[in-house]
Chains A and B, each alone.
Chain A
Amino acid sequence: MNSLLTAPAIMVGIGLFFGAILAIAQRFLKVDEDPRIEATNEMLPGTNCGACGQPGCLPFAEKLVSGDVDPGQCTVSTDDTIESIAEYLEVDAGRQEKLVARLRCGGGGLQAHQIAEYQGFEGCRAAAVVSGGGKGCAWGCLGLGDCEVACTFDAIHMNANGLPQVDTDKCRACPDCVAACPRDLFELVPIKQNLFVQCNIPLAGQAATQLCSVACDACGKCVADAAPGLIRMENNLPVIDYSAGGPARPDAVFRCATHSIVWLEKEQFQDQEARPARMG
């Protein structure tokens, strides 16, 4: 009878002893975590996309509370969320200009000339390592949707013409598509800028236009027509300097014979028709 009580008594004793140690540790060794970190983290989208430059949402929340970053650097949150975080932390929202991903190529199935048929694993990078896919242009969009797969926010969908259409409402300007594209065609540009070059061919004249009907032939008319300093030619392609040279106006695109420089009122590649059946 006696031994029957001893074991539980010892267990209870040990329990109480360690409990007391924990209670003391809790009292004296407690690490004070700023409750605002947890609260801020709750407000962030939790996608851990990395677009802000931090490894994830919690490290971003820590930096927010310490004041190293602005709430606006989270490109994924809506404006309301940014405002409420800024209000909660009593800091300036520091709203950044909204960027969207745009494709520096307009050569879909209807525009770029096909010289061969690609059969194999359906992926851009896979096609790029096999003689560069079927398109004659070695710099343009391969159209097999690596970016569509890579996009965290479901903002990219391949259209009927075989070009990725970016939903600008959903696009959060994280660099997923930029990293995924084997031809480095995506660029993150401010959404309010309408002027954009949709070509990546570093060739001039007929060498370029025989590859694709919307290729830039490096004629330089856009440079002449735009505000001085806005556009410069680099490597046979116009480069737009959004930060300098005054406001961009649609003048620059009027005389472009191939429509390789465009004035985007809405999203790229809207209302495109289906591409023709594959050659061969």
Chain B
Amino acid sequence: MHPAHHKSQTEDLEIQRVPFGKDYVMPLGQHIGVPSKPAVVAGEAVRRGQLIAEPGGFVSTALHSPVTGTVREIGDLRGVDGRFAPAIAIEADAFATQRVEPDPAMDWQSLSLEEFIDAVQMAGIVGMGGAAFPSHVKLSVPDGTRIRHLLINGAECEPYLTNDHRLMLERPAALLEGAEIVRRKLGAEETIIGVESNKPDAIEILCDHISPGQPVRVVPLKVKYPQGAEKMMIKSVFGKEVPAGQLPRDVGVNVNNVGTIVAIADYFLRGMPLIERIVTVAGPGVTYPANLIVPLGTPVRDVVRFCGGLKGGTREIIMGGPMMGRPIASLDVPVLKGCSGVLVFTEEQTSRRKEYPCIRCGRCLEACPYFLNPSRFARLARARMFDEMKAHHVFDCVECGCCTFACPSDIPIVQLIRTAKDDLTHRKESHG
């Protein structure tokens, strides 16, 4: 797939910091897995960077306060998916300096692998590309599996988004430091940074910063979607396919997003836990597009206001990229660890086109990077034959959106697949 990039709006804009606002909301379940357990109570004063929630299990991470202030309440608040979920609401202290007194840098070289993985968990680091999968789980490699390559994902194949691009341009040294930490800890032989070839400046800067002797290779990748899906990237770089149902580690590769690697460097070298992230605010409906450092938990309302507000005719705001991100139903939704972009669209881009019957052209089959049969999924989902869909491997679908993008009849294939997956998982819960 080759969707139009639309990256020129923000790719040359330097990363700026959003001023601190008043209200912050940190949902306890902002990563995939078990929600975190609150470690503070309502009314308690918190410092920026202070631990406010502990991991609730292995597949879970810690949370840290994004601001200095007071805990307003701990209760059910609206999350990104429209549902209400447990969250910690913090009111920022208007007179605080918001300066972090970071923990002293850790001597990461002396840490054992287990200590290192625990530290990553306590730093609250998750996959920053969008999925928000806890990084320490990804870094925990079972005995007998050997990681040969550390693959760093700088593809940023989603249109509009430029946050990873700017990060590579502005903090190449931190990226390479983080890469070295992770590579040494995993015992990998080589680090490979995959960057789509539409970012030649990033490739150049990274190559310039590689210190002599550091086993790092920057690989330009073809510009195509979804180049940044980890299995796709492994195929592009190594020519190996990761079999269905297996993980990249089964072919000896560990894939991490550039943002994640920089977060690891910031924690181990500068003592900063994950309390802010870079967000691209773009799209035709926003007055001043920007790449911003946003404290986690900032309401989208404040982010959009900083960017000059919405233009008239705004119809839809998407959190994440336009292909895989989700529309938000409220501006009070907070920016989370996995939020790579806030994209604002107007009527022109979002009006729903008339849907026509499937003409069996097969374009969705050509488009599907996982060689599934999207048109069949759409037909089965409409007929509510969800079990049949499972037999056709609907759970191998990563919902990249290629089929829907390719469909000339404008059939909402991905939405039908998501509906079916929701039905299958929901029913599994209620019937044992």
Contact = CB atoms under 8 A, between A and B. Distances in A.
Contact of B415 (A126, A132, A134): A126
Contacts of A121: 412, 415-416, 419
Contacts of B57: none
B350 interface: yes
Given A115-B329, A134-B329, A129 B415 contact: yes
Interface of B is mostly: mixed
Interface in A121-149: 121, 123, 125-126, 128-134, 136, 138
B189 interface: no
A130 B327 contact: yes
Given A121-B416, A125-B422, A138 B328 contact: no
B326 interface: yes
A114 B82 CA distance: 12
Contact of A131 (B328, B419, B422, B427): B328
A123 B382 CA distance: 10
A119 interface: yes
Contacts of A129: 415, 418-419, 422
A137 to B, nearest CB: 9
B81 A132 contact: yes
Nearest to B350: A119
B350 A138 contact: no
B44 interface: no
B84 A138 contact: yes
A131 B416 CA distance: 15
A99 interface: no
B69 to A, nearest CB: 22
A116 interface: yes
Nearest to A117: B315
Interface residues of B, number: 24
A190 interface: no
B329 A132 contact: yes
Contact of B419 (A115, A126, A280): A126
Classify chain A's interface size. Answer: 20 to 34
A71 to B, nearest CB: 28
A133 B83 CA distance: 10
A182 interface: yes
A128 B422 contact: yes
B422 A202 contact: no
B422 A138 contact: no
A126 B327 CA distance: 13
A203 interface: yes
Contacts of B416: 121, 126
Contacts of A182: 422-423, 426
A138 B419 contact: no
Contacts of A136: 330
Contacts, number: 59
A119 B83 CA distance: 18
Contacts of B415: 120-121, 126, 129-130
A203 B327 CA distance: 24
Interface string B241-258: 000000000000000000
A182 B418 CA distance: 13
Contact of B82 (A123, A133, A179): A133
Contacts of B329: 115-116, 131-134
A271 to B, nearest CB: 31
Contacts of A125: 419, 422-423
B423 A131 contact: no
B76 A131 contact: no
Contacts of A280: 315
Contacts of B418: 126, 129-130
B78 interface: yes
B352 interface: yes
Contacts of B82: 131-133, 138
Contacts of A130: 326-327, 415, 418
A70 B271 CA distance: 71
A115 B330 contact: yes
A136 B332 CA distance: 12
Most buried by A among B329, B416, B418: B329
B230 to A, nearest CB: 23
Interface in B8-63: none
B76 A203 contact: yes
A136 B78 CA distance: 9
Interface string B304-333: 000000000001000000000011111000
Contact of B83 (A123, A138, A179, A203): A138
A35 B76 CA distance: 60
Interface string B114-141: 0000000000000000000000000000
A167 B416 CA distance: 30
A131 B350 CA distance: 16
Interface in B378-432: 412, 415-416, 418-419, 422-423, 426-427
Interface string A168-184: 00000000000100100
Contacts of B352: 119-120
A115 B78 CA distance: 12
Contacts of B315: 280
Nearest to A179: B427
Interface string B142-164: 00000000000000000000000
A203 B85 CA distance: 12
14 contacts: A120-B352, A120-B412, A120-B415, A129-B419, A130-B326, A131-B81, A131-B82, A131-B328, A132-B82, A133-B329, A182-B422, A182-B423, A203-B76, A203-B84
Across the A-B interface, the 5 shortest Cβ-Cβ residue pairs: A132-B82, A131-B82, A116-B329, A131-B329, A126-B419
Given A121-B415, A126-B419, A131-B327, 14 more contacts: A115-B330, A119-B352, A121-B412, A125-B419, A126-B418, A129-B419, A130-B415, A131-B82, A131-B326, A131-B329, A132-B82, A134-B329, A138-B83, A182-B423
